[in-house]
Amino acid sequence: MPSDRGLIRARHWLRLSEWADMLPVLAGRAAWRLGPPLVGIALFLALWQVAHWHYGAFILPSPWQTAAATLTALSGLAGWAALGATLARVLVALGLSAVIGGGIGLLAGYVTLIRATLAPVATILLGMPATAWVILTMIWFGPSHGAILFTIAIVTGPILYIGTVDAVRSRDRHLEDMAASFGATALARFHRVALRQILAALGPVIGIALALGFKVAIMAELVTNVAGLGAEMARARAQMDIDMALANVALAVTGLLLIEHLLIRPLQTRTGHWQGPDA
């Protein structure tokens, strides 16, 4: 009979051989998952480089020059302060519009009268160009921190409102009937059954609102010249510093990606994990 140690060793070998068998499959899966995005990034950088060769560094710096300028911007406190100011504004304004737009959307999703009353208002607000809001808030509030916050909130609020209304309306009400049959109160049905579905449906909408909030923040900062990435871009434009302008664009995109991957994606995963990776 084989000893215990022999059995353990045999089990280890078995596991190792299983892993060895699985390795090509896992590598194939990883290549399938990561390959296409990497090819896409490489293609984008290659096109950028070709355009740089064609137009020259004065019009379009190379990706490498832009990366160097980005590092230069981040090597000083001013770069971090600009990035931090824009990020903070986007987060505060998005939180504000989530509370107001999402809150009213929740009410409107449940109450037909509120929904019908607010439908034309939401359509008008959605149709207003972000630039118009920037001009209006400049006149109303002057070039201030509050003006930028208001602009981001008023642009993203209607999106979150409509997203919340749709999320409430598209929830599976059969599940709430099921909960009612087990004696769940209206509050318990909302808290334990409806809210989970609403949050899951809201994930992609929050992602869109975030991206839009960033664009609006930079535009508003650029116009109002209030500290932030937009103001840095305005400065780069005034000094005809194309490297710095692109570095600020790169910082804005990086900031957006950071928030999306550190905040939004985990929230989406947490609230909508049952819908599968492609949902």
Query: Which residue in the set 76, 120, 174, 278 belongs to the binding site for another protein (CB under 8 A)?
Result: 174
Contact status: 212 vs another protein (CB under 8 A): no
Task: Please name the residue that has the structure tokens 């950088």.
Answer: 45
Does residue 193 touch another protein according to CB under 8 A? yes
Q: Which of 24, 120, 127, 276 binds another protein (CB under 8 A)?
A: 276
Query: Counting contacts by CB under 8 A, is residue 112 touching another protein?
Result: no
Q: Could you say which of 94, 155, 165, 179 contacts another protein (CB under 8 A)?
A: 179
Please tell me whether residue 195 binds another protein under the rule CB under 8 A: no
Residue 274 in contact with another protein, rule: CB under 8 A: yes
- How far apart CA 258 and CA 90 sit, in angstroms, is 13
CB–CB of 230/173 below 8 Å?
no
202 binds another protein (CB under 8 A): no
Shortest Cβ distance from residue 187 to another protein (Å)? 11
Confirm or reject binding of residue 175 to another protein (CB under 8 A). yes
Residue 219 to residue 216: CA distance in whole angstroms: 5
The answer to whether residue 188 forms part of the interface with another protein (CB under 8 A) is yes
Task: Write the single-letter amino acid at 147.
Answer: A
**Does 67 contact another protein by CB under 8 A?**
no
Give dist(CA 175, CA 165) in Å, integer.
Answer: 18
At closest approach, how far in Å is the CB of 248 from another protein? 41
**Is residue 219 exposed (0-12), middle (13-18) or buried (19+ Cβ within 10 Å)?**
buried
Q: Comparing C-alpha atoms, which of 203, 174, 194 is closest to residue 272?
A: 203
33 near 40, Cβ under 8 Å? no
- Distance of CA 193 to CAs 104, 210, 273, 278, Å? 20, 26, 15, 23
- Structure tokens, 65: 């020059």
* 183 belongs to the binding site for another protein (CB under 8 A): yes
**Residue 182 touches another protein, criterion: CB under 8 A:** yes
Q: Which stretch binds another protein (CB under 8 A): 42-50, 85-93, 104-112, 181-189?
A: 181-189
Beta carbon nearer to another protein, 118 or 200: 200
Which ranges constitute the DSSP H helices of the chain? Answer: 4-55, 63-75, 77-97, 103-110, 112-127, 130-141, 145-169, 173-181, 186-189, 195-224, 229-238, 242-259, 265-272
- Only one of the segments 35-43, 128-136, 185-193, 254-262 lies at the binding site for another protein (rule: CB under 8 A); that segment is 185-193
Told to check if 184 binds another protein by CB under 8 A, we report: yes
**Cβ-based neighbour number of residue 268 at 10 Å:** 20
Asked if residue 267 binds another protein (CB under 8 A), the reply is: no
In terms of CB distance, is 3 or 112 closer to another protein?
112
Q: Candidates 102-110, 122-130, 152-160, 268-276 — which segment interacts with another protein by CB under 8 A? A: 268-276
User: Which residues in this chain contact another protein in the complex, by CB under 8 A?
Assistant: 173-175, 177-184, 188, 192-193, 196, 200, 273-276
